[in-house]
Homo-oligomer: A and B are copies of this chain.
């Protein structure tokens, strides 16, 4: 059986690069897979929740710009997706353009996160008053270049290759340690059918690998210490919390839900006990799975 993998498209996005690397790993273990690009994160996640595809790959966090809130909000809303593994991809942006030189550029198109990650470079090297125009993806920015020789786009070198466009400058991101973390998700918590997928997950899950468990929860409103009490459950057991993110519940200003990553495996007994105590302090708790991180070079 060929596994189908939904991802944020179109061809040339960073999510596609991460998905290709994951697919390559599956292939090395004898599991064929096919990539299915979707125009938005929400659509990719809906596709897997409705079982139109077997897996979905979506970005969840960038080291410079922070959480991808669309991913967190949809994950909470859909309620049935489980994280199988996480992929970390280094991000390097290039300035792609048909202009003869950087000085000729009057407009720069890209995804808002990519524009934000290159602000310093743009201010230093481009003419003053260059216009910055946001697009839905880094790849979408490329479509403006053919018709306007004074336009530039910020995207990956791979995107430039795919669409046969010249790279004027590379790398142009302000922070060299720019990485994005992606989640590989499937529906439900039942056993994984594909043995290659099991194998790849076991292979990444080396005994020395750090296991993360992602949780989403709400706490009683306007109670002093309402957030601290559940977090103490992990702190007193020396379980490190590597991440916390708050998102609005969308009910009223000041009403939040929280996403945390703990460095522990929810299948271990002492972690099960911790999570059981944790539920006594939360209103709603959703466990998004235990998994390890695969680095992509």
Given the known A-B contacts A231-B231, A242-B254, are A63 and B248 also in contact in the complex, defined by CB atoms under 8 Å?
Answer: yes
B64 and A250 within 8 A (CB): yes
A243 and B240 within 8 A (CB): no
B253 and A241 within 8 A (CB): no
Contacts of A222 in B (CB 8 A): 240, 242
Residue ID in chain B nearest A63 by CB atoms: B253
Q: How many A residues face the partner with a CB closer than 8 A?
A: 51
Given the known A-B contacts A64-B250, A135-B134, are A243 and B256 also in contact in the complex, defined by CB atoms under 8 Å?
Answer: yes
Q: Taking the complex as formed, is A179 at the interface, i.e. its CB lies under 8 A from any CB of chain B?
A: yes
Min C-beta distance of A13 to chain B, whole Å: 16
Q: Taking the complex as formed, is A228 at the interface, i.e. its CB lies under 8 A from any CB of chain B?
A: yes
Q: Taking the complex as formed, is A187 at the interface, i.e. its CB lies under 8 A from any CB of chain B?
A: no
Q: Taking the complex as formed, is A25 at the interface, i.e. its CB lies under 8 A from any CB of chain B?
A: no
Q: Taking the complex as formed, is A35 at the interface, i.e. its CB lies under 8 A from any CB of chain B?
A: no
Contacts of A24 in B (CB 8 A): none
Residue of B135, B228, B250 near A63 (CB, 8 A) is B250
Instruction: Report the bound CA distance from A181 to B181 in whole Å.
Output: 30
Instruction: Report the bound CA distance from A177 to B238 in whole Å.
Output: 40
Contacts of A134 in B (CB 8 A): 112, 134-136
Please report which residues of chain A, range 216-264, place their CB below 8 angstroms from some CB of chain B when the two chains form the complex.
222-229, 231-232, 234-236, 238-248, 250-256
7 tightest CB-CB pairs across the interface, nearest first?
A225-B235, A63-B253, A228-B235, A224-B240, A224-B238, A179-B253, A134-B134
* Other contacts beyond A65-B248, A222-B242: 10, CB < 8 A: A61-B253, A64-B248, A66-B246, A134-B135, A177-B253, A179-B253, A224-B234, A224-B238, A225-B235, A244-B244
